[in-house]
RNA sequence: GGGCCCGUAGCUCAGUAAGGAUUAGAGCGGCGGCCUUCGGAGCCGCAGGCCGCGGGUUCGAGUCCCGCCGGGCCCGCCA
């Protein structure tokens, strides 16, 4: 309908001598007090070209538009410099309500496109913290959104088990072979990893004094949390003759598939992953597949990628180490320039200003001189795997903004393997900071997703008091906690850094997950007490401003879903859900539904059901659990 | 040093993608009401803003362009 309106506007414009692209025309909701329902400021744009003042242009355009060609439209009126469209609200509402109630509003037909969303992908060396939580929740929400729009979505987790970090953990683990994990495995291994990592860093000869102090502080905290095990890992690595080369040989052994290394690494990584899966399941985050980095190496995908880059003529060696000659590639190939988002002439400009090295490092290393693969190398292999083995048309990598350069390098690698780099898209988000300090997994300093969920749940239990049976209270508290945490992490624009605050995450009032859940249960409550919604109703009975406003918001749902997908902004849906919940609460305070009688009651029940449908869909897309009672 | 991102009430954030019909909106915190016929995890009101600063483009700029200031990130044979 909006499209039909745009097309009519474009046709009218062309009749008066100006060609415009219908997609370029803005159509928005008309503010209160102005005529019509949808309006466009197009006349302002055209005024210059036509040589007439905007109101005259508006009148001219309005007179040329064929109202009959626009579904559900009754009238077109000029209003100042705007052209406004009046809808047949009865027909419009009847359609919106119908599709909102069935949950189909905004859902896309199958597109036949396969889309990979890689998200979470935390190295299995310490528990999930708020930062990884943001990734998991953004990624999971985005996967849900794309699925809703009709794409075949495969959500995937890259288990990074072959790099230096897992090797540090495995090495630390080897120092306390007999110890049995206590508590949740990812938390226990997190302590070992941090202890080992600190030991490695402490041995560096050029360690600056302030860094040493920081490490010592972290160690004190670790000892307090982990006791003997921490101490043993730390002191035995400090006492080793040459832990660096042992680490290297361990890593090489694993990448080559040596049985002893394999047993050690897999034991460690698999236990940590068990902990992750448990936490992610609590959050309602799911993956269709876990791809192990080591498998990609053993199955030859990584080697194959390197081979193709070599075949293309851009793989060079520095001893055993292998790297891509990026400058030559970017000079010679348009697709590699595109991988770095460089347009026509950008390269020349960078070269002229001597800034090429600042934007594009000359060498992109795939392999170390000891023959082991770097993360960057396996990532190129993985990207090829996603396109060829998984069959993705497009891949979204949900990865922190600090990996922006690496992601462009991988895109370049993909181009050199013969694929269009634009099929790999970096869904970037900024980091979560703690108030006083930065989070540092390597030092064991983080706020974990588990403790946030537990704390949120505890607070909800307090509010629930004795109101519910114990089992029911548990379930409700868990669902509310999940809603609170997910909302807190999904509701901020991914491009902004967020400072972690307990107040924000544990907020149960307006502008929160629980606020949305509450509005949803209220709507459900009305419908439940009514014992069903009459099949027949007349939307003409919905006459008040609040009702019109509420329905217009429901009607906006499809375009919000579309925007959140196109812009990679799941937060738009969180905002939408919160606004719709608030509008519903206001409506609830001022309009009695049950007992309003006859046709009015039937229409209001249908409206409530429509709100419940749209709100429920929005909640599903950002993973806020629907609750019937709370 | 260079590149990318961010800078809106005391605090946490919407609004910037496609500049428009507002008087720039929420929440938290503060103050005051609704002392609950559909569930009060709610609703209503008050106080609180040179939209970082300075230029420019435009009929119109929080939104676009340029410069500056402040914060974050990247520039590893780490991930």
Per-residue pLDDT, A466:
65
Q: Find the Å distance, CA of residue A497 to C1' of nucleotide B6.
A: 8
Helices then strands, each counted (H, E), chain A = 26, 14
* pLDDT tier at A164, thresholds 50, 70, 90: very high
Per-residue pLDDT, A468:
67
**Has residue A435 got a pLDDT over 70?**
no
Find the nucleotide nearest A43 (Cα to C1′): B20
Average pLDDT over chain A reads 91
The sign of the CA dihedral A414, A416, A419, A422 is positive
Q: For A19-23, A132-136, A499-503, A543-547, which range has the lowest pLDDT when averaged over its residues?
A: A19-23
Per-residue pLDDT, A112:
95
Per-residue pLDDT, A467:
66
Q: For A462-471, A481-490, A530-539, which range has the lowest pLDDT when averaged over its residues?
A: A462-471
- Chain A residues 582-601 within 7 Å (CB) of strand B: 582, 585-586, 588-589, 591-595
- Chain A residues 108-167 within 7 Å (CB) of strand B: 123, 160, 163-165
Per-residue pLDDT, A25:
79
Q: Is the CB of A504 under 7 A from strand B?
A: yes
Q: In A340-372, which positions are buried (b, 16+ CB within 10 angstroms) versus exposed (e)?
A: bebeeeebeebeeeeebeeebeeebbbbbeeeb
Q: Find the Å distance, CA of residue A9 to C1' of nucleotide B13.
A: 37
Q: Under a CB-based contact definition with an 8 Å cutoff, are residues A546 and A587 in contact?
A: yes
Q: State the pTM of this model.
A: 0.94
* pLDDT tier at A10, thresholds 50, 70, 90: confident
Longest dimension (CA), chain A: 88
Q: Find the Å distance, CA of residue A629 to C1' of nucleotide B46.
A: 34
Q: Is the CB of A374 under 7 A from strand B?
A: yes
Q: Is the CB of A432 under 7 A from strand B?
A: no
Q: Is the CB of A498 under 7 A from strand B?
A: yes
- Chain A residues 220-279 within 7 Å (CB) of strand B: none
| Mean pLDDT, rounded, for A31-42 | 82
User: Coil, strand, or helix at residue A556?
Assistant: helix
**Which stretch, A73-77, A207-211, A405-409, has highest mean pLDDT?**
A405-409
**What pLDDT, in 10s, does the model give residues A136-162?**
999 999 999 999 999 999 999 999 999
C-beta atoms surrounding A184 within 10 Å: 18
Higher pLDDT, A604 or A465: A604
User: Coil, strand, or helix at residue A207?
Assistant: coil
**Has residue A595 got a pLDDT over 90?**
no
| Mean pLDDT, rounded, for A97-110 | 93
Q: Find the Å distance, CA of residue A555 to C1' of nucleotide B16.
A: 24
**What pLDDT, in 10s, does the model give residues A373-429?**
999 999 999 999 999 999 999 999 999 999 999 999 999 999 999 999 999 999 999
- Chain A residues 81-100 within 7 Å (CB) of strand B: 81-82, 84
Interface predicted TM-score (ipTM): 0.93
Percent of chain A beyond pLDDT 70? 99
Cα A583 off chain centre by: 26
**Has residue A455 got a pLDDT over 70?**
yes
- Chain A residues 160-189 within 7 Å (CB) of strand B: 160, 163-165
Q: Which two tokens stand for residue A624?
A: 């806020």
Q: Is the CB of A375 under 7 A from strand B?
A: yes
Q: Which two tokens stand for residue A387?
A: 């396109």
Distance between CA atoms of residues A197 and A200, nearest Å: 5
**Has residue A299 got a pLDDT over 90?**
yes
Higher pLDDT, A435 or A349: A349
| Mean pLDDT, rounded, for A4-28 | 80
Q: Which two tokens stand for residue A445?
A: 């300093």
Q: Which residue is nearest to nucleotide B22 (CA to C1')?
A: A31
| Mean pLDDT, rounded, for A47-76 | 84
DSSP notation for A32-91: TTSSSSEEE-HHHHHHHHHTS-HHHHHHHHHHH--GGGSTTEEEEEEETTEEEEEE-HHH
């Amino acid at each position: 309908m909006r499209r039909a309106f745009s097309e009519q506007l474009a046709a009218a414009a062309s009749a008066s001598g100006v060609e415009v692209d219908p997609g370029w025309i803005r159509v928005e909701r008309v503010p209160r007090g102005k005529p019509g329902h949808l309006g466009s400021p197009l006349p302002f744009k055209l005024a210059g070209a036509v040589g007439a003042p905007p109101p005259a242009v508006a009148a001219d355009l309005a007179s040329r538009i064929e109202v009959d060609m626009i579904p559900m439209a009754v009238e077109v009126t000029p209003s100042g410099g705007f052209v406004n469209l009046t809808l047949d609200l009865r027909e419009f509402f009847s359609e919106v309500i119908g599709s909102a109630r069935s949950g189909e509003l905004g859902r896309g037909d199958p597109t036949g496109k396969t889309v990979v969303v890689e998200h979470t992908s935390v190295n299995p060396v310490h528990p999930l913290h708020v930062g990884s939580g943001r990734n998991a929740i953004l990624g999971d929400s985005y996967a849900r959104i794309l699925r809703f729009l009709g794409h075949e979505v495969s959500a995937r987790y890259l288990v990074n088990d072959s790099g230096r970090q897992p090797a540090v953990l495995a090495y630390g683990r080897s120092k306390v072979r007999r110890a049995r994990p206590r508590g949740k495995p990812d938390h226990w291994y997190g302590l070992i990893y941090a202890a080992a990592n600190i030991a490695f860093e402490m041995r560096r000869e050029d360690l600056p004094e302030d860094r040493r102090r920081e490490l010592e502080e972290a160690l004190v905290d670790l000892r307090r949390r982990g006791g003997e095990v921490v101490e043993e890992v730390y002191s035995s690595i400090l006492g080793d003759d040459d832990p660096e080369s042992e680490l290297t040989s361990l890593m090489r052994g694993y990448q080559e598939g040596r049985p002893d290394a394999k047993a050690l690494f897999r034991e460690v990584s698999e236990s940590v992953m068990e902990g992750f899966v448990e936490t992610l399941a609590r959050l309602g985050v799911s993956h269709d597949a876990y791809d192990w980095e080591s498998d990609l190496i053993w199955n030859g995908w990584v080697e194959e990628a390197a081979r193709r880059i070599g075949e293309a003529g851009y793989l060079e060696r520095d001893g055993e180490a292998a790297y891509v000659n990026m400058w030559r590639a970017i000079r010679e190939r348009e697709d590699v320039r595109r991988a770095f988002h460089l347009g026509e002439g950008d390269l020349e400009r960078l070269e002229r200003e001597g800034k090429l090295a600042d934007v594009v490092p000359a060498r992109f290393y795939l392999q170390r001189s000891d023959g082991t693969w770097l993360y960057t190398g396996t990532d190129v292999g993985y990207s090829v795997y996603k396109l060829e083995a998984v069959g993705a048309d497009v891949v979204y990598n949900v990865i922190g903004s600090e990996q922006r350069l690496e992601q462009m390098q991988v895109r370049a690698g993909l181009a050199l393997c013969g694929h269009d780099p634009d099929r790999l898209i970096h869904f970037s988000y900024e980091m979560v900071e703690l108030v006083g300090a930065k989070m540092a997994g390597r030092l064991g300093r983080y706020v974990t997703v588990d403790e946030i969920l537990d704390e949120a749940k505890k607070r909800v239990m307090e509010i629930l008091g004795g109101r519910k049976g114990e089992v029911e209270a548990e379930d409700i508290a868990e669902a509310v906690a999940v809603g609170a945490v997910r909302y807190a992490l999904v509701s901020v624009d991914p491009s902004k850094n967020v400072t972690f605050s307990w107040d924000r995450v544990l907020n149960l009032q307006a502008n929160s997950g629980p606020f949305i859940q509450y509005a949803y249960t209220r709507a459900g409550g009305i419908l439940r007490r009514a014992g069903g919604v009459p099949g027949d109703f007349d939307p003409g009975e919905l006459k008040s401003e609040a009702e019109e406003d509420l329905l217009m918001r429901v009607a906006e749902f499809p375009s919000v879903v579309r925007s959140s997908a196109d812009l990679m902004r799941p937060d738009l849906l969180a905002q939408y859900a919160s606004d719709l919940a608030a509008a519903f609460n206001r409506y609830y305070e001022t309009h009695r539904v049950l007992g309003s009688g006859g046709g009015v009651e039937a229409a209001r029940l249908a409206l409530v059901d429509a709100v419940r449908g749209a709100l429920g869909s929005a909640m599903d897309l950002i993973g806020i659990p629907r609750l019937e009672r709370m």
